[in-house]
Chain A
Amino acid sequence: MVNKDYSQVLTKIDMIAEKIYNDFEETKIPYLNLPTRTKANIKFDDKLSVWKYGKGSTERNAKSLDGAYMILRTMYMADFIKEMIKVKKSSTLREMYYISEGWDLAKFHSQDESNLLAEDLEIITSCMREDFKLRPEEDGARVIGNLTIEEMTRNNTKKKIHCQDDIGDAGYSIPYNVEKEKITIKGCDADFIVAIETGGMFDRLVENGFDKSSRAVLVHLKGQPARSTRRFIKRLSTEKNLPVLVFTDCDPWSYRIFASVAYGAIKTAHISEYLATPESQYLGVTPSDIENYELPTDTLTTEDIGALKSELTDPRFQDNFWKGEIKLQLKLGKKSEQQALAKYGLDYVTDTYLPEKLSEMGITKK
C-alpha cells in the first residue's frame, strides 16, 4: 500500500468533530460554513490564473432539518474516512454511498448527495478526495509518449513504466491517484502534450506514430476529463515544462472540455490550482478550420446555439480568439468533428493538419 502520512488529514477531520462539539459546549447552534458552489460565485484568480470560488458562502446549521442532516452526514462521512485510514483501505464513491445504507438517519438518498458531500468535505478540510481514500468510479484515461513513470504498485514495490516501450497500443492507464506517493515522472523526452477528446482520434495518432515522429505525449481525455487526467496533465506540464495543446471536436461542448483543462470546473473550483493547466492552448478543430480545410459539417442544433451564446457571456471565453471563433461558428451555423479530417485520407491529420496548426501556433518550426 501507499505509505502516506495521513496524520494531517486525520487532524483536519477531527477539527470538524471538534468544531461541532465545541458549538454544543458553548451552547451555539452547530453550523458549518461553505463557499457557495454556483456559477455566480466563481472568480478568476489572477495569481493562479484559474477560476476559484468567490467570497459567497453558505452557512449550514442545525436550525433546519436539511442543515442538521447535512451536519450529521458530514460527521458520519468523516468518521468513515478516519476508519478507512486506520485500516488502510480505500473505497469508491459508489461504495461509500452503499455503505451509508447502514448509517441509519444519516444515510444518503442518492449518490449525487454523497458525491456532493465528499466535495464539501474537501472544501471544509482543504484536503483532496484522494486524501480521504475515496476514488471515482472511472479511472483516468490513457497516455502514450516518450516518458517514464514510476508507479507504486499494490505490492508496495516501485515499478518503472516507459510509456512507449513497456505498454501496448492502448497506452498507459492513468490511475485514480496521481499524487507523488503514487507516481513519479522520471524521464521525459518530448516537445509538447496533445490532449485529445475522442478515442478514435487518439488511436489514429498512435497508429500513425505521431508521438514518435513529432516528439509528442498523447493523452486521451475521454470526453469531459476525470480529475486524475487533469491532475496528470497539470503535473507533467509543470514538472517537465511542456506546452499543452487541446485537440477536440468543433462544437460548444468541446470548448467546455478545453475550459475545464485550462481554467478549472465550477464543481471543483476549490482545487482548481491542482487540476487546471492555465498554459493550455486550444489547437482545434476551430470554426475557422471548417472554412480553411473545407471540412464536412453538421448543422448546429438549438441546444448548440444556446450553448454558444452562453459561452459568449461566460467570463472564461472573453478573449478575442474565442469571441471571434464563436461568432464565426454562429454565422456558419455549422459544427464538425475531429475525425472529419479523414475526408482527405487517414494520414492527413498527422501529415498535414497537425504540422500546419502546430507551426501556426509557434510550437514547431517548419
Chain B
Amino acid sequence: MSQITAEELAKKQKEISVAEFFERNKHILGFGNQTRALITSVKEGVDNSLDATEEANILPDIYVEIKNHEDGECKIIVEDNGPGIIKQQIPHIFGRLLYGSHFHSIRQSRGQQGIGISAVVLYGQLTTGKHAKITSKIEPDRPAIITDLVIDTNKNRAEIINTDTIHWDKQNGTRVEVSIIADFKRGKKYVYDYLQSTSIVNPHARITYKEPDGTVHIFERTAEQLPQKAEEIKPHPYGVELGTLIKIAKNTKARQLNSFLKTEFSSMGDRTSNAVIEKAGLEKNINPKNMTREQFLALHKTFKEIKIMAPSTDCLSPIGETLIKRSLKNETQEISPEFIITASRPPSVHSGNPFQVEVGLVYGGNLPKEEQVKILRFANRIPLLYQQGDCLITQAISSIDWRRYGLNQPSGKGIPTGPAIFMAHISSTQIPYTSESKEAIADVEEIEDEVKLAFRECARKVQKHINKKVNRVKTREKFDLITKILPEIAKKSAHMLDKPVPSLDPIITKIMDVVWIEDVVEYEKVGRKPVQTTLASEGVEKPRENVITKSKIMVVNYKRNSQKFNLYAIIPKDAIVGTVTPKPSKITSNYIKWSFDSIQPANKVDINFELAGLEKGDFDENDLYVENINPAYVIGADKWEGD
C-alpha cells in the first residue's frame, strides 16, 4: 500500500461537498427520518417568513400548503406577506448553506446557526432531484421574480435553472415551493401541532394551513401589534468563549486592552476593565491583536473571577402575559377551559446571556382527566417538539408538587396527570440546547430556577383562584342565610305567636359582620368594521369583534358601624379606562382607586366601570384590594400591599 501524502489528503478534504456534510449530519439538522424531514421543512419555511415579516415591521400572514403524492413525494409551499427578497440575494439565501444574517449578532432570534431554508432546498434536491421555486415581490407596482434553483453541492453555491418575471396579485412577499420525500401520514399531526404551537407564541401572526385533502386550518391572529424588536447587544464577558474572545480581538479597532474590553463587551466600564486587567496580570495598554494565547487564557479566566454587572436585558422580546393568555384562550376554545393562568419572571442572566421565562397554565374543560398533562415548550418563539423528557422545562415542572392544585402526581414528583396544559416560553440571546438538533433545553441552573419560580407563581394564582371560588360559595351561603332563611324564621315565629314580624336589619349586620364586596364582569360587544385584509387570495378575513368590558362591583356594609376605606380594582395593562362611577380618587395604568369616607351600616354602594381595548376573556374577574380597613372584615377583596 502506497503512502498517501498530506497534499493528497488535503485535496480529498476539500472535496467534501456540502451534500456529504449534509448527509453525515442530517439527523442533527432535523432530517433524520421522513417524518422529521417534513416538519423541519415546514418549520424552516415558517421561521424564515416570520423573521422576514417582523424585520420589515409587517404583521405576518403566512400560508402553508402541503401537496402529497402517492410515491411519498410532498410539495411544501410556504408563502408570506414579507418584504420580498431582491433578485441578487435569492441565490445566497436559498442556495447556500450556512449563509444568514443572524450568524454573528447577539440577540434573541429564531434561528441561531443559519442552516435554515437552504437545507430544505438541498434535502429536496437530494431526495427528489427536483429544483426549488422561489417567487418574490418587493414592491406593489413591480412584477414578481420567479427563480428556479438548485444547489451546486461542490461549490455550495446556487445554480439558477431559470428566472422569469410574472404578475402576482400580492403587494409584496415571498413564496417558496420545495418537493421533498416525506412521510405525511405520520407527520400530519406534528405539522398541525407545530403550526398551532407557533401560533400560540406568535400571537401577532396569522397562519393558514391547507392540508393535501383540501382541509384548511386558520390560526387566527390575536394581537395587532408586532412584538418588541430584539436589540443587538455586545457579548457579556461571562458568556464569551475563549475562541470567540480571540476572534473578537483579531477584528477589533481598539488598540489598547482596556478600550478593547470597554468597546467590545457589555457591562464593562473603566473600573471593571481595570480590575480585570490587573487581576489577570496584564498591562492595560497592550494591543489586543498582539496578545498571546496565554494572555487570552488569563484574561478569559479572570472574567469569571470578577464581579461584573449583569448585561442589559432589553435585548429580549418576551410575548407578555396578556398575549399569552389571549393566545392560549384562542387555541383552546373548543376545550372551554375553566381558567387560564399566566406568569412571567423578570429578565435574568445565565453565563452572561440574558433570558426571560414566561409560563401559562390551562386548566379544566374538556381536557382529558386521566392523561399526563400536555407540556408546550418554546424557545425564542419556536415550539420544541421532541425530546420532552430531556428538557429543563419538563424537569422543572416535574419537581413541583402539583397535588394540591387538583392534579394527580404519585409521590408529588414527575409529570402530573390531569386536565391541564402547561406552557413555558424561554427567550434568550443564547438558548443552551442539549444538542445541535435544538429540541431540548439543557440543564442550566439559573434557567431552571426561573422556570420553577414562574410555575410556582402560576400555582399560587391557581390556589388563589380556588380560594376565591370557595370564598364565593361561602359568601353565597351567607347571602342565602340572611335573605331567605332568617326572614323565614322570623315570619314563622311571629305567625306562631300571632305577633308582627320582627325587624331583621340589626341581626343581619350582626351575623354577617363584614363588608361584603361582590363583582360581576360583563361584556358588551361593540361592532367594528374589518380592520385589514392583507392576504386577499387565501380565506376571508373574519371581522374582529371588539368588546367593552363592563365591570360592576357591589359594596355592602354589613358591619354595625359606618366604614371608611379605600378600594382598588386592578386593571390589565392594555386596558383603556372608560366611564367610572362613582368618581374614583385615582386612576393609574394598573388600577382604579376609590376612597369611601363613610358607608353606613346596611348600606350599599354600586361601582361601575368600563374597560376598552381588551378581548373577551382577557379579564374574567376583578382583582380587588382594600386599604385602611382590617382585611378580616372584608369578604371579596384582599389586603392592598402597595403599588
Interface residues of chain A, those whose CB is within 8 Å of chain B, are 14, 17-18, 20-21, 24-25, 27-30, 62-65, 68-69, 71-72, 75-76, 78-79, 82, 104-106
Partner of A79, one of B484, B496, B510, B511: B496
Given contacts A105-B484, A106-B488, contact A14 B502 (CB under 8 A): no
Partner of B502, one of A25, A62, A106: A25
Known: A21-B493, A65-B480. 7 other contacts (CB 8 A): A17-B493, A18-B493, A62-B486, A62-B511, A65-B478, A71-B489, A104-B488
Contact A68 B496 (CB under 8 A): no
Contact B496 A14 (CB under 8 A): yes
CB-defined contacts of A64 to chain B, threshold 8 Å? 481
Measured CB to CB, the closest approach of chain B to A87, in angstroms, equals 16
CB-defined contacts of B492 to chain A, threshold 8 Å? 17, 72, 75-76, 79
25 A-B contacts, Cβ less than 8 Å apart? A14-B496, A14-B497, A21-B493, A21-B494, A21-B497, A24-B490, A24-B493, A24-B504, A27-B510, A30-B507, A62-B489, A62-B507, A65-B480, A65-B485, A68-B485, A68-B489, A69-B485, A71-B489, A72-B485, A72-B492, A79-B492, A79-B496, A82-B496, A105-B488, A106-B488
Contact A18 B489 (CB under 8 A): no
Q: Which of B496, B502, B507 has the most CB of A within 10 A?
A: B496
CA distance A27 to B504 in the complex (A): 8
CA distance A21 to B501 in the complex (A): 9
Partner of A78, one of B496, B499, B502: B496
Measured CB to CB, the closest approach of chain B to A84, in angstroms, equals 14
Measured CB to CB, the closest approach of chain A to B484, in angstroms, equals 6
Contact B481 A62 (CB under 8 A): yes
CA distance A138 to B214 in the complex (A): 75
Measured CB to CB, the closest approach of chain A to B489, in angstroms, equals 5
Contact A17 B497 (CB under 8 A): yes
CA distance A65 to B476 in the complex (A): 10
CA distance A365 to B183 in the complex (A): 105
Contact B486 A68 (CB under 8 A): yes
CB-defined contacts of B480 to chain A, threshold 8 Å? 65
CB-defined contacts of A104 to chain B, threshold 8 Å? 488
CB-defined contacts of A72 to chain B, threshold 8 Å? 485, 488-489, 492
Measured CB to CB, the closest approach of chain A to B508, in angstroms, equals 10
The answer to the question of B5 belonging to the interface, with a C-beta cut-off of 8 Å to chain A, is: no
Given contacts A20-B489, A65-B481, contact A29 B511 (CB under 8 A): yes
Contact A65 B510 (CB under 8 A): no
CB-defined contacts of B497 to chain A, threshold 8 Å? 14, 17-18, 21
Measured CB to CB, the closest approach of chain B to A2, in angstroms, equals 24
Contact B496 A75 (CB under 8 A): yes
Which residue of chain A has the shortest Cβ distance to B512 in the bound complex?
A: A63
The answer to the question of B304 belonging to the interface, with a C-beta cut-off of 8 Å to chain A, is: no
CA distance A132 to B435 in the complex (A): 84
Top 10 nearest A-B pairs by Cβ distance? A24-B502, A17-B496, A27-B506, A75-B492, A21-B493, A20-B493, A68-B485, A17-B493, A65-B477, A72-B489
Contact B485 A29 (CB under 8 A): no
CB-defined contacts of A29 to chain B, threshold 8 Å? 507, 510-511
The answer to the question of B495 belonging to the interface, with a C-beta cut-off of 8 Å to chain A, is: yes
Contact B499 A21 (CB under 8 A): yes
Measured CB to CB, the closest approach of chain A to B414, in angstroms, equals 39
The answer to the question of B503 belonging to the interface, with a C-beta cut-off of 8 Å to chain A, is: yes
Interface residues of chain B, those whose CB is within 8 Å of chain A, are 477-478, 480-481, 484-486, 488-490, 492-497, 499, 502-504, 506-507, 510-511
CA distance A29 to B485 in the complex (A): 13
CA distance A14 to B511 in the complex (A): 25
CA distance A68 to B488 in the complex (A): 10
Task: State the main secondary structure of chain A at its contact with B.
Answer: helix
Measured CB to CB, the closest approach of chain A to B470, in angstroms, equals 14
Measured CB to CB, the closest approach of chain A to B390, in angstroms, equals 53
Measured CB to CB, the closest approach of chain A to B485, in angstroms, equals 4
CB-defined contacts of B490 to chain A, threshold 8 Å? 21, 24
CA distance A17 to B486 in the complex (A): 14
Measured CB to CB, the closest approach of chain B to A41, in angstroms, equals 27
CA distance A62 to B493 in the complex (A): 14
Given contacts A21-B494, A75-B496, contact A27 B507 (CB under 8 A): yes
Q: Which of A14, A18, A68, A104 has the most CB of B within 10 A?
A: A68
Measured CB to CB, the closest approach of chain A to B570, in angstroms, equals 31
Which residue of chain A has the shortest Cβ distance to B495 in the bound complex?
A: A79
Measured CB to CB, the closest approach of chain A to B509, in angstroms, equals 9
CB-defined contacts of B502 to chain A, threshold 8 Å? 21, 24-25
CB-defined contacts of B488 to chain A, threshold 8 Å? 72, 104-106
Q: Which of A21, A63, A65, A69 has the most CB of B within 10 A?
A: A21
Contact A75 B507 (CB under 8 A): no
CB-defined contacts of A25 to chain B, threshold 8 Å? 502
CB-defined contacts of B477 to chain A, threshold 8 Å? 65
Measured CB to CB, the closest approach of chain B to A92, in angstroms, equals 23
CA distance A106 to B492 in the complex (A): 11
CB-defined contacts of B484 to chain A, threshold 8 Å? 105
CA distance A30 to B494 in the complex (A): 13
CA distance A76 to B492 in the complex (A): 7
Given contacts A20-B489, A72-B489, A76-B492, contact A63 B503 (CB under 8 A): no
CB-defined contacts of B485 to chain A, threshold 8 Å? 62, 65, 68-69, 72, 105
Q: Which of B489, B496, B506 has the most CB of A within 10 A?
A: B489
CB-defined contacts of A78 to chain B, threshold 8 Å? 496
Measured CB to CB, the closest approach of chain A to B482, in angstroms, equals 9
Partner of A30, one of B478, B489, B496, B506: B489
CA distance A62 to B497 in the complex (A): 20
Which residue of chain B has the shortest Cβ distance to A20 in the bound complex?
A: B493
Measured CB to CB, the closest approach of chain B to A344, in angstroms, equals 62
CA distance A78 to B492 in the complex (A): 10
Contact A63 B511 (CB under 8 A): yes
CA distance A199 to B507 in the complex (A): 56
CB-defined contacts of B493 to chain A, threshold 8 Å? 17-18, 20-21, 24, 75
Contact B489 A75 (CB under 8 A): yes
CB-defined contacts of A63 to chain B, threshold 8 Å? 511
CB-defined contacts of B510 to chain A, threshold 8 Å? 27, 29
CB-defined contacts of B495 to chain A, threshold 8 Å? 79
CB-defined contacts of B511 to chain A, threshold 8 Å? 29, 62-63
Which residue of chain B has the shortest Cβ distance to A106 in the bound complex?
A: B488
Which residue of chain B has the shortest Cβ distance to A78 in the bound complex?
A: B496
CB-defined contacts of B499 to chain A, threshold 8 Å? 21
CB-defined contacts of A65 to chain B, threshold 8 Å? 477-478, 480-481, 485
Which residue of chain B has the shortest Cβ distance to A104 in the bound complex?
A: B488
CA distance A179 to B346 in the complex (A): 82
CA distance A292 to B167 in the complex (A): 117
Which residue of chain A has the shortest Cβ distance to B494 in the bound complex?
A: A21
Which residue of chain A has the shortest Cβ distance to B485 in the bound complex?
A: A68
Measured CB to CB, the closest approach of chain A to B561, in angstroms, equals 14
Measured CB to CB, the closest approach of chain B to A32, in angstroms, equals 11
CB-defined contacts of B503 to chain A, threshold 8 Å? 24
Which residue of chain A has the shortest Cβ distance to B497 in the bound complex?
A: A17
CA distance A96 to B603 in the complex (A): 41
CA distance A78 to B493 in the complex (A): 10
